[in-house]
Amino acid sequence: MNACMVTPAFCPAEQLRGMLQRLRRLRTSNIPHFILLNHWPINEARNIEDCKALAEEYGCIPYDSGADLGLTGSLNFWLDGHADFDMMIGFDADSDIDHPGFDQAFIDVMAAKPDLGMCAIKNDIITSLSMHKLSAPMDIAGHHLCCL
């Protein structure tokens, strides 16, 4: 499965820095991580440059949406240019995941059961969000999934 991580950065650079520091200890995969620059309006030009520098410092790929397109608009803009990925892990700058290895867990689960469509982590339990909802909790690829 060709996976990547995308962080929509509609935030001050310092918030992005805190998320990247936390993410550094949580990630276990080596998938590419894109920082989607979504043009935070306060000190916009300086903030964009600071976010680009942080992306490079943390080994991420900065991707400029060109304007504040909103979350959906900016993700669609990114997806239009990256159709080669089968899976995108979204990790917002204010995500509260604190589950080491969450990224690899998502990759394992989605590779084993791609018809789930979407997964989320809440309280260290992976939940499925899909058009094909799980009828009962189950273990997939060594991870426990519960139903929404």
Composition of the chain by helix, strand, coil, percent to 5? 35, 25, 40
DSSP 116: G
| Dist. CA 111–CA 86, nearest whole Å | 10
Please tell me the pTM assigned to this model: 0.83
Query: Which tokens in the block code for residue 58?
Result: 């943390």
pLDDT digits (tens, 9 = 90+) for 75-129: 888 888 888 888 888 888 888 777 888 889 888 888 888 777 777 766 555 554 4
- Count of C-beta atoms within a 10 Å radius of residue 5: 21
pLDDT tens digits, 52-70:
999 999 999 999 988 888 8
